[in-house]
Chains A and B, each alone.
Chain A
Amino acid sequence: MNHGKNNGEEIRIGFYVCHCGHNIASMVDCAEVAKYVEQLPHVVLSRDYKYMCSDPGQELIAQDIKEHNLNRIVVASCSPLLHEHTFRTAVERGGINPFYFHMVNIREHNSWVHTDRAAATLKAKALARAAIKRVAHHRALETKRVPIHPDVLVVGGGIAGIHAAMTLANAGKKVYLVEREPTIGGHMAKFDKTFPTLDCAACILTPKMSQVGAHPNIKLMTYSEVTKVDGYVGNYTVTIKHKPRYVIEDLCIGCQDCIPACVYKEPKFPDEFNENLGKRKPIYIPFPQATPQVVIIDPDTCLNLKTGKCKKTCVEACGDKKAIDFKQQETFEDIKVGTIIVATGFKTFDATKMPQYGYGIHKNVYTALEVERLVNASGPTGGEIILRDGTHPKSIGIIHCVGSRDERHNRWCSRVCCMYSLKLAHLLKEHTGAEVYNFYIDMRTAGKNYDEFYGKLLDEGVHFIRGRVGEVTDWAFTPEEEGHLVIRVEDTLAGYVRRIPVDMVVLATGLEPQEDAQEVRRLFNMSCGGEGFFLERHPKLAPVNTFTDGIFLAGCCQGPKDIPDSVAQAGAAAAEALVLVDKGYVEQEPNTAFVIENECSGCKSCVPLCPYTAIAFDGSKQKAYINEALCKGCGTCVGACPSGSIVQNLFEDAEVFSEIEGVLAE
């Protein structure tokens, strides 16, 4: 089964087992493994070394190849997903083909998961032997270079997507920015101030938004969604669905004359941008600085779209511009890009899932995001804190960790709630002069200047009570509680249960993955962590990469983070994308499959199995043929070929069979 390999050369294997400090050595007797491997056939030298991935470790391999004329290398250390590339490079530096290398995982799959040193050592030996047997069958292979399409797709127009798109566009790359809402801006556009500097969110965000809208290198696609992703790193074909906004984007100049002209004289319908605290008309612009400055018609409330019977006063007001088009349909567009940055963000925890806190039950219980709109000068009350019952609060309770750090809901810390609660405490106090109480489990203010902000709040006289709130109720026990909401909490510092009457309750809801994160994950072929946020390739060393080459993550879709972290990560994702794009090509693993023509029986079993239509049948020869450019290297056809005449590079039958033999021969 070895197809023209080795040319009868003598196989000379070098074996290296890594201690990884104590990570491996504490559970595996590395010296013993090295001694064991030394006596296996074709092994010329066998060493154990403290850190194989270090510079001297790599140099050791390169030197040994030259000095001892080695032509196969096996390293037993950590996961190949982490350092296979490192060692292949070292092997290449030694002067032989990098694919004469095999890596054995004795850390993630062995020392870290076992507790019996003898058993772990035995396992390491078995795995090492399998690799020694396998590597003898390795052949010199070449990585394929595939050109990269220079354009980049950014999915999600929140602050992370905006920053990533701007960075790439400023570097001269063409960027498609796709946002499913009618405007970019995301959650940040709804905030009033940002902690800890109390910068006005709109003042720092909206100029960036208009830059995005005007940037010659950015093609902004709002009210649009990605529906299909085809291809692979460097060559993605992405289908974008443009939803009908019933206003022609290119013709609308943003004069907004249509809005007052609408047959509905008064705004009547819940305004999503204001968290349904305000009202809007069927034709509207989400907020004054929305980008693009284009109105939108909501088909669920527009009289004309619902009934066809309307005076169409909006069309009249639009006049010659003729921007309103009630016949607009959804359209689909295919774009070609080389890399994709996913920045689809988060959703906030649904506070109705914790009825004990009274959201949706008691009028004056708000979520933090609602309060952001309430304190905002461009919000539904113009920044005045008027409660749902029309009163002004004299006392306010802010409840931390709503839905976060809770086994019944979300186990994780949402990372921003402590700080935004402090910020809202400050803003509410400033706006109303009310007594403000914060109910917290732990105060987590770990960012730059964050703890100082906490100190400032203490000085301002905001009350802090440590303890998870039991319930929010309007059931008064005493005359003082009458007419108020009562927060019942065990004060764990004072050591007793307290009842604190307040006029307004703010729930610091946590951050969750988007509702459709699973579908998005499938669309882009990504992985999710247990909690549903998209999984990075490595939590420390590849925090913006995914397991799919060419697809990067930014912002809260990867996990809760604040604005500075989202922006930093977006910059990192943009840089990673730029590295790929500017290099101009990607190197692909040579693990593709090929047909040995004279062994192929022409049964065609393989042809329908290939999901990439890489296998064709040559009628004149009566043989199957694999198009290497289309093959992604799964090996499904290889496993199915009844005559064993398809070979997958790096996973040849002989290689796998020898691994099976190796792991079992103990």
Chain B
Amino acid sequence: MNASENKVPAGWSPRIVAFFCNWCTYTAADLAGVSRLKYAPNVRVIRLMCSGRVDPQFILEAFARGADGVLVGGCHPNDCHYVEGNYKMLRRARLLRRMLAGMGIEEARFRLEWISAAEGEKVKVVVNEMVEQIRALGPLGLPGRWAEWDREVAGLAERVAAVEAAGVGEKESEVAHG
């Protein structure tokens, strides 16, 4: 179940989905570009107006679709273009982290960073650091795991159906919970 138990496929490289707020972190990533700073190509940025727009479902969706890491970038506390969207993201992130841990998703795979428009350098550092951390963890492979779980559930359903067919008169509720 642990990612480290998974075999690292040949040629695998971490895939990171990043949600950057328009005003600070997206602009910082632009600045990193203008400054020709070099960082790992593993990150795919999705622009939102505010980190407050980041629905925890986006993060779950990214993992479910095969991301090995998710990065959310917003303005520093007190600097949010929309007053306090970043604080709201922070609150959600704390809840979500506990949930991700319960799903066996390591802490380092989800990162929330405050990166101001002037911090192009920080974009570079954070991305490179995250890529390295995830490289060490190996692939998350959530879609694969879920396929496995689906197969398990399907197998269970088959057995239930078989038991149902065999044991005539047995109550449905007993089967379902048995």
Contact = CB atoms under 8 A, between A and B. Distances in A.
Chains A and B belong together in one complex: yes
Interface of A: 79-81, 105, 107-110, 112-116, 119-120, 122-123, 126-127, 130, 522, 525, 527-530, 535, 547-548, 591, 609, 611-612, 632-636, 638-640, 648, 651, 653, 656-657, 659-661, 663-666
Given A535-B118, A611-B83, A522 B78 contact: yes
Given A528-B118, A660-B58, A105 B49 contact: no
Contacts of A120: 41
Contacts of A81: 22, 26-27, 30
A653 B48 CA distance: 11
A123 B78 contact: no
Contacts of A122: 41
A38 B66 CA distance: 24
A612 B85 CA distance: 11
Contacts of A634: 49-50, 52-53, 81-82, 85
Contact of A527 (B27, B33, B39, B65): B27
B49 A651 contact: yes
A239 B85 CA distance: 24
Given A123-B44, A639-B53, A639-B55, A113 B36 contact: yes
Contacts of A640: 55, 88, 92
B15 interface: yes
B126 interface: no
Nearest to A633: B49
Q: Which of A612, A648, A663 has the most CB of B within 10 A?
A: A663
B165 interface: no
A130 to B, nearest CB: 7
Nearest to A611: B83
Nearest to B79: A522
Contacts of A638: 53, 55
A431 to B, nearest CB: 43
Nearest to B65: A664
B54 interface: yes
Given A535-B117, A636-B85, A639-B55, A660 B46 contact: yes
Contact of B39 (A113, A130, A535, A611): A113
Contact of B45 (A105, A107, A114, A115): A105
B44 A126 contact: yes
22 contacts: A108-B30, A110-B33, A113-B38, A114-B39, A126-B44, A130-B44, A527-B23, A547-B27, A591-B49, A611-B83, A633-B49, A634-B53, A635-B48, A636-B53, A639-B55, A639-B88, A639-B89, A640-B92, A651-B53, A656-B48, A664-B62, A666-B15
Nearest to B13: A119
A105 B34 CA distance: 12
B30 A109 contact: yes
A399 to B, nearest CB: 30
Given A81-B26, A636-B88, A660 B17 contact: yes
Contacts of A114: 38-39, 41
A659 B20 CA distance: 13
Contacts of B32: 108, 113
Q: Contact residue range for chain B? A: 35 or more
B17 A527 contact: no
Nearest to B32: A113
A527 B45 contact: no
Please give me the 7 A-B residue pairs with the lowest Cβ-Cβ distance, nearest first: A108-B33, A635-B53, A636-B52, A634-B82, A663-B44, A611-B83, A634-B50
B67 interface: yes
Contacts of B84: 611
B53 A648 contact: yes
Q: Which of A112, A591, A666 has the most CB of B within 10 A?
A: A112
A656 B88 contact: no
Contact of B41 (A123, A527, A591): A123
A113 B52 CA distance: 27
B83 A527 contact: no
Given A109-B33, A547-B27, 20 more contacts: A80-B47, A105-B47, A130-B44, A527-B117, A527-B118, A529-B118, A530-B118, A530-B119, A535-B118, A612-B83, A634-B53, A634-B82, A635-B49, A636-B53, A639-B53, A639-B88, A653-B57, A660-B58, A663-B17, A664-B15
Q: Which of B15, B30, B41, B121 has the most CB of A within 10 A?
A: B41
Contacts of B78: 522
Given A634-B85, A661-B65, A656 B46 contact: yes
Nearest to B19: A656
Contact of A657 (B15, B23, B33, B58): B58
B134 interface: no
Contact of B82 (A528, A636, A657, A666): A636
Q: Which of A110, A635, A653 has the most CB of B within 10 A?
A: A635
B152 interface: no
Nearest to A107: B33
Nearest to B78: A522
Interface string B108-126: 0000000011110100100
A550 to B, nearest CB: 13
